[in-house]
Structures are given as C-alpha cells and as structure tokens.
Amino acid sequence: MSNAVKLALAGEGGQGVQSVAGILVEAANDEGREALYIPNFGVEQRGGVSVAFCQISDERIGSPKFKFADLVIALSDRAVRRTKQYVDENTVFIYDSSVEGVEDDLPQKAKKILAIPALDIAKKELHPRVFNVIVMGAAIAVTKIVDMEQAKSALEKKLGYKFEQDPKLRELNFKALKKGVELVEGKV
Amino acid sequence: MSVVPNMPKSWREETKPHKFCPGCGHGLVLKALGEAIDELAIQEKVVFGCDIGCSLLSWDFFNCDSVQTHHGRTTPVVTGVKRARPDRICIAYMGDGGGYAIGAQHLVNAAARNERITAILVNNCNYGMTGGQMAPTTLPGMKTQTSPYGRDTDSMGYPTQGPEMVAAIAREGAYVARGTVANVRQLKRYIKSALQNQIDGNGFSFVEALSGCPTNWSTNAQKTWEFIEKEMPQYFKVGEIKTPGKKGE
Amino acid sequence: MLEKPIGGEKRVFMTGNEVVAWAALAAEADIMYGYPITPQNEVMHYWTRLAPKYGRSFLQTEDEISAGFTTCGGVLSGKRAFTATAGPGNILMQESMTMAEMMRIPTVLVVQQRGGPSTATVIYSQQEVTMTCFGGNGEGLRIVYSTCSHQELYDYTIKAFNVAWKYRFPVFVLGDGYQAKMRESLKMYDPATKGIKMVETQPSLGLAGVPGVDREPSHLRNTYNTEEELCEVVTNLVKEYNKVVPEVVEYETFETEVAEIVLLGHGIVTRAAQAAVKTLREQGIKVGHFRPITIHPFAADELRAICKHAKKLIVIESAQGQFERIVKEAIYGESVPMESYFKPGQGVTGEEIVEYVKKGL
C-alpha cells in the first residue's frame, strides 16, 4: 500500500515491547520522518499479549493498524499465535528461540522465519533487563527504519538520567543494541 | 507440579486462574463469597450480577448464573431480578466507583426501599480498570491519575464512607458491614451474614471490602499490605455497622 | 502562573488524548469536567497535570450525567468549559446536551468512540455517530466535527470552542480510540499566531448588578406549556441552526472530479480511503473519495454534485450503517448505485478497501 515500513512487536506484559516501540518511533520522529505507533489495549490492566503496531514513512501514514507487517517480532508462545495473522509472503517473522511448543503455530508463508536467542544472550552475556534492547537492535537491522546513531540518541533521551547515575548502563544498552543487529545480520 | 489451591465448590475451575492483576484483592473477596455460598448451600439459587470496572472480570467466575451489567447499574438490574424472582439469592458485585459515584443513587434507593438483595462493594481507593483515577474513596492527599498533586479535601472532599451512609438510610432489618481482605475469615463471616439476611427476608444487605490495587498504587506486596492494614482503616472502620434487631449507631 | 501554554509553533509527537488537553489549553478553556472512561482518560490525566500551571480548573464528577450538566453550568457562567467522554459515557451526556441544544448553551464535548452497543470494547469504533449527531429527544441542533489525525484533533478542538461560542450550539469533536491512544506528529501552535482570535465568552447567569433593579434578571427555561409554544420555539431554533449550516459545513474531496467510483468515509477511515485512492489510481482505476469533516451538518449539495457523474458510491465505516444513513438522507433521490463496507467496531485498512474495490470491478 503506502511505502511505510510496518512493524508488529508482541510479547508478554513486562517484556518491554511497548517501550521498544516507543523508542523506535521517537527516534524516527526525531529524524523528521513520519511515525505512527499504537499499542493494543483492552479492559484488563495486566495480562494478555501486548502488541505494538508501528509504522514509519517519509510521508503521511494511512490507517493506524495494518493487515500485514514487514516485520513481526514475537517474544512468547501466545505472542506467536496472536501475531501470525499479520504475516504474508513479504513479512519477516522473528521469534525468540526460547519460545517452545509453537512449531505448528508458526506462520505458513512468511518471507523468512528466524528464531533468535535474544533472551538467552541477554541472560548469559548481558543482563535480562536489556532483552528488549536486543530486540530493538534486530528490528532496526531488518527494517532500517532509523540509523544506529539515531537509535542510540533515542535510547539516551529515554534512559539518559539512568545512564548518568550508572555509565555502565549506557555501555550495556549499546552493546545489546549491537548484539541485536548481529543476530539478524546476513540472515534476512 | 504445582499444588492446586483449594477452591470453593461454587467457583468455576475452567475460568481459573482468574483475570485480575497479581496482588489484586478481588480474588480474596470472591473466595470469601464462594465459601459463603458453599457453606449456605445456595449455589443453585444464586444470581450474580457484576458491575463495569475491574469487577466485570468476575462475570464467569462462579458456577452460578451471572450477568454483567453497566457501570453503576448492577444494583438496579439485580433488584429487578429479585422483584421478579423472590426465590433467588441475588448478589450485586461492584467497585467503589460503581457503587459510590455513578451508581450511588441506586445504592441509596435500594437501601431506602430495603430491597432484599446483597450488595458487595470492593473498595480499593481508585478506579482500577481505567488506569487509576481518583475515586470517591481515594484517601486525603493520595495521588492518582486525576489528583496528580494529591487529593485536596478542600476542593475534592473527603472519602465516602459507604457503609455508614447506607446504614443511615437503611430500614430495620438491614445488614451493613465493612470487612477487609486483610482478615478474610471475618470478611467471609460478614458476607455470610449478609446472604443469610437475604435468605431470611429481613431486608437489604451490604458489605464493603477494603482491598488493594498494587497495579495502580504502584506498590510492592509489602507496601500494598501496609496500606490496606494501616492506612485504609484510619478512614474506613472495619466491623458490623447495622444488624437486624439492633439499632444502627 | 505561566501565561501561554504554547508560544509560536512547534512539532510534537504524542497521543491524541494529550493533544486534546493541549488544544483546550491553547484555546483558553477555563475548566474541564469529567469522569473516567476508556479510551478518553488521558485527556483528564494531562489536563489535571497542566491546568493548575495555567490557572485552569478541573472537577471530577460522580458520573457523566453530572459531567455534562456541570459543563452546562460552567458555560452558563461564561466560562469556556468542556468535557470528554466515550461510549456509555456519551449516552449519559445526551441528556445534558439536549438542554444545551434547547437553551443555546455552547458546550464543547470531545468523544473518543469505543465499541458498542453496551460496554462492548474500550478500543475503537465509529458507532457513536448517530448518538453524537442526533442523540437525545431533540432535532440534532449541534455541530459535529469528525477528525482523522492529531493535527485535526488539535485544530478542531480549538475551533470547537470558537464555533460553539459564536453560534451558541453545542459542538462535538468526534474522535475515536485509535486517535485517542496512538502517537503521531503534529504541529501545535498558539492560535493567535495563526490569526485565530478566541471568540469572547458571555455569562448567562451571575451578571453584575441587582436583578430587577439594575438589569433584567436571567430567567432561563427549557419547559413550555403548550404545543403551539414549543412548536414555535423549536421551529425558530431550527431556523437559526439552518442559517449557521453554510458557515460551518466542511468537507474534503480526493480525485472526485473524474472518478467513477467514489469512496465515502469519515473520521480515521478517511486515511484508509485516501491510501486506497492512491494505490488504485496508480493501477489506472478511476476512484475518488469524499470525506465530510462536519459529519453533522453534512455537505449534502457537494456530495449530490459528485453523484451526478459517479457510477458507484461505496460507504465505508466502522459501524453498521450509521454514517450510511446520513449519506442516504443527504442524497435522497439520486440514482447512483450505492454499496457498503461495514465493520462495526473494527478498524479499516487501505489494503482491504483496495481489495474490495477491485473485486467489484
């Protein structure tokens, strides 16, 4: 339809998909591009799969939700089942390799399906807290919606006050971002 | 294998685990209610009505006929059922917003008419489902989404004391009490007395339950319980306020 | 106390509910009355944080019946008062809005539509069209702007206050849950820098002087004794409303001049329709799009002109024909075939419109 890059990020509450989506669109907006972001929401304050719908473009964006995404990232089994509806033959579908029991639920006709060990790497090499930043790095590497410097400054904008208190945190986040890029580089 | 907690017989197992947030008090109130229903052996007679707000998540909670109504309108829907089917045990389940704000007129008039129904109201000091706005029960100085600088009693008044208000209106034969999820045994006793009052045909029965909302209070388990046990009872006195045969204070 | 909430013009990126709060501040709104309901809550959240810094007020009422009537009270006192609601709350506000229609009380009400009927969903719909345009026991003497973007939410919230106070009919800004909750960019501005002057407000109650001595007392009423009396009052109200119509009616067209198929959609659906027009035009299909901005009153003459040369109209909405009813009434007597694409309570994407149009070729 339009030339907007469409992105659906889904996970369990607390996995941080909404914050990643927020930082991504903020970065795009800061670049002067058009960005639109809408979270799913329902009656329950907690629980349920959390989905972030993002679109980034050089021109005005159409309807806030879309039929098919360019990239879907699902971080839990429920998220896989919930988001496969947004996948068609042009969609890259990424899920975390720690998600089990979804073999039969993976989308049928994706352009590419890729499992990445983001959670595992976050736990073993970095910190569980930066799991979503790894995911953000992967999303940027696949879609090229913002350049890496812009992404860093968006992180800085969002977490700067924490970075001030603990400069190691900055390094950790930037490392996570880079790791995310490496996980998908050359694979999609 | 995790141990399956002991559920009241009247609970519907298929809908557990329930949909309330971790740490929410609704589960405890509904457990007390479920056990009271079991002990009185009234499951097949119960008609359960729930409000809109977090209480709506209880719509499929029991193996009892249940109806989700509109925000604030559970008292009249349940009253309508009771008037049409006096043989049923009719329960109206609501939050503080539903009972004391948008549905206050219904609560007041049901009490004034001494409707033979049981209203159970969960007081957690805020509107939970909509994201934590100020409620009639928000404590003085307490910060919420619509009292971001704290509830200023000069412009926003003091917390509504629901059971005291109902007791002042209610006729002879009514039962009014305030319990807390910090004392589930006592809460169950109150709920059971309230239901017994309806069974006996004495009059209106009303139980408020003090409860917690860690999601919107942004509190951890310890802070949540401190608030329920120490802060809330300073404004909301726990106990039986009106019982049949005894004059209300 | 801070003076101006926004100086000059600036690009921002925020949710629609936040936009409404800022727009009301920029429009010099004095007071908001409200009651929690999703997806409107954050209008109150931002207003309660911002308002005290600019000397503005807020009252959380016990329900929407009260929020609507307190808004009437605020307006009668000469204050730029407004409220915001959705779904079941909008139902409860209809009572006060009929008082506003009858007594020419220039209230402003922002509606963020959610699913219906009943409590339904807290998410999105276009199912509050009939109620917002014609709710209550009256004749629909109100002005309803159906916005499609954050820029329009900003522009038309400001405009709503001016149109209300200039013409003294209740004005509604009809958004939806998507517009409420999504984030996108817009340019906020100080209305003065755009040459927009806020229309002065007038109190109807509480004027200076001793009533009966220095001035006539205000005796405002909405109750009449005889059929004849009421008929005359309503006829005059309708006459005055009809006089206002040509001055407030707004619409947009997209490639309708040489269109064989014309898509009709309002609110956020226009974005999907515009995108579909673009795609279909690229494929050589002669499609255009007509979009009312004031969904009530409606640009009937302009749509009629389009009907003369179009071969087919397709009404698209996130409701089961509420908008279609308005369209049908507006073009009564035209012979152009009409189709409908209804998705009650669900969003519409450009892709599915393209698919639908091509299937019908």
Give the ipTM of the model, two decimals please: 0.92
Confidence of residue B248 (pLDDT cuts 50, 70, 90): very low
- CB pair distance less than 8 Å for C41 and B131: yes
Amino acid at B142: M
The predicted-structure confidence for B40-72, as pLDDT tens digits, reads as follows: 999 999 999 999 999 999 999 999 999 999 999
Residue C311 and residue A149: Cα distance in Å, rounded?
A: 52
Which of B104, B127, B147 has the CB atom closest to C62's CB atom? B104
Residues C172-176, mean pLDDT to the nearest whole number: 98
How much is the pLDDT for B4?
A: 63
With respect to residue A80, please indicate whether it lies within any of the assigned structural domains: yes
A26-40, A45-59, C87-101: the lowest-pLDDT one = A45-59
Fold: same for C9-194 and C252-359: yes
Q: CA of C269: which chain A residue's CA is closest?
A: A63
Which chains are within 8 Å of C by 3+ CB pairs? A, B
How much is the pLDDT for B165?
A: 98
Question: What is the percent of chain C where pLDDT is above 70?
Answer: 100
Confidence of residue C2 (pLDDT cuts 50, 70, 90): confident
- Chain C residue set in contact with A, beta carbons under 8 Å: 13, 38-39, 121-123, 178, 181-185, 268-269, 271-272, 274-276, 278-279, 347-352, 354
Which of A2, A35, A67 has the CB atom closest to C184's CB atom? A35
Q: CA of C92: which chain B residue's CA is closest?
A: B102
Question: What CATH architecture does domain C252-359 belong to?
Answer: 3-Layer(aba) Sandwich (3.40)
Confidence of residue A77 (pLDDT cuts 50, 70, 90): very high
Would the pLDDT of B249 be above 60?
A: no
Residue given tokens 């860690």 in the structure block: B214
Contact A10, A82 (CB under 8 A): yes
Which of C45, C52, C88 has the CB atom closest to B71's CB atom? C88
Looking at chain A from residue 34 to 73, which residues have their Cβ under 8 Å from any Cβ of chain B?
43-47
Question: Which residue blocks in chain A are alpha helix, DSSP H?
Answer: 17-30, 77-83, 118-124, 131-143, 148-165, 167-184
- CB pair distance less than 8 Å for A45 and B56: no
Residues A116-122, mean pLDDT to the nearest whole number: 95
Beta bridge partners of B178: B208, B239
Shortest Cα–Cα distance, C28 to chain B (Å) = 20
With respect to residue A113, please indicate whether it lies within any of the assigned structural domains: yes
Contact B120, B95 (CB under 8 A): no
Residues 6 or more apart from A28 whose CB is under 8 A from it?
A34, A35, A56, A145, A146, A150
Would the pLDDT of B106 be above 70?
A: yes
Task: For residue B19, list chain A residues with Cβ-Cβ distance below 8 A.
Answer: 44, 47
Beta bridge partners of C183: A37, C15
Would the pLDDT of C29 be above 70?
A: yes
Residues B217-244, mean pLDDT to the nearest whole number: 97
- CB pair distance less than 8 Å for C36 and B97: yes
More confident call, A65 vs C164: C164
Beta bridge partners of C13: C185
Q: Domain spans of chain C?
A: 9-194, 252-359
Contact B78, B205 (CB under 8 A): no
pTM: predicted TM-score of the whole model, two decimal places: 0.95
* Residue A157 structure tokens: 């904008």
B4-13, C108-117, C274-283, C333-342: the lowest-pLDDT one = B4-13
Largest separation between any pair of C-alpha atoms in chain C: 75
Q: Find out if CATH 3.90.226.10 is the number for domain B20-242.
A: no
Would the pLDDT of A1 be above 90?
A: no
Residues 6 or more apart from C241 whose CB is under 8 A from it?
C139, C141, C169
Question: What is the pLDDT of chain C when averaged over all its residues?
Answer: 97
Contact C36, C87 (CB under 8 A): no
Contact A8, A56 (CB under 8 A): no
Interface residue B54 vs chain A (CB under 8 A): yes
CATH number at residue A139: 3.40.920.10
- CB pair distance less than 8 Å for A35 and C13: yes
How much is the pLDDT for C136?
A: 94
Which chains are within 8 Å of A by 3+ CB pairs? B, C
Chosen for mutation from B15, B16, B18, B19 (greatest number of chain A CBs closer than 10 Å) is: B19
Would the pLDDT of A72 be above 50?
A: yes
A57-66, B28-37, C284-293, C335-344: the lowest-pLDDT one = A57-66
Residue B194 and residue B92: Cα distance in Å, rounded?
A: 12
Indicate the DSSP class of residue B4. Answer: P
Confidence of residue B227 (pLDDT cuts 50, 70, 90): very high
Q: How would you classify residue B29: left for phi > 0, otherwise alpha for psi between -120 and 50, otherwise beta?
A: alpha
Q: Find out if CATH 3.20.20.100 is the number for domain C9-194.
A: no
How much is the pLDDT for B105?
A: 98
The predicted-structure confidence for C287-305, as pLDDT tens digits, reads as follows: 999 999 999 999 999 999 9
- CB pair distance less than 8 Å for B148 and C49: yes
Query: How many C-beta neighbours within 10 Å does residue C242 have?
Result: 11
How much is the pLDDT for A186?
A: 87
Count A/B contacts: CB-CB distance under 8 Å: 19
Q: Domain spans of chain B?
A: 20-242
- Tell me the residue range of the domain where A40 lies: 5-183
Which of C122, C181, C271 has the CB atom closest to A38's CB atom? C181
How much is the pLDDT for B246?
A: 58
Residue B241 and residue B177: Cα distance in Å, rounded?
A: 5
Would the pLDDT of B3 be above 90?
A: no
How much is the pLDDT for B2?
A: 55
Which residue, among A77, A75, A145, A142, has the nearest Cα to A112 in the 3D structure?
A142
Shortest Cα–Cα distance, C191 to chain B (Å) = 27
Question: Which residue blocks in C112-149 are alpha helix, DSSP H?
Answer: 129-134
Question: What is the percent of chain B where pLDDT is above 70?
Answer: 96
Residues A116-138, mean pLDDT to the nearest whole number: 94
Total number of domains in chain A: 1
Residues B21-42, mean pLDDT to the nearest whole number: 97
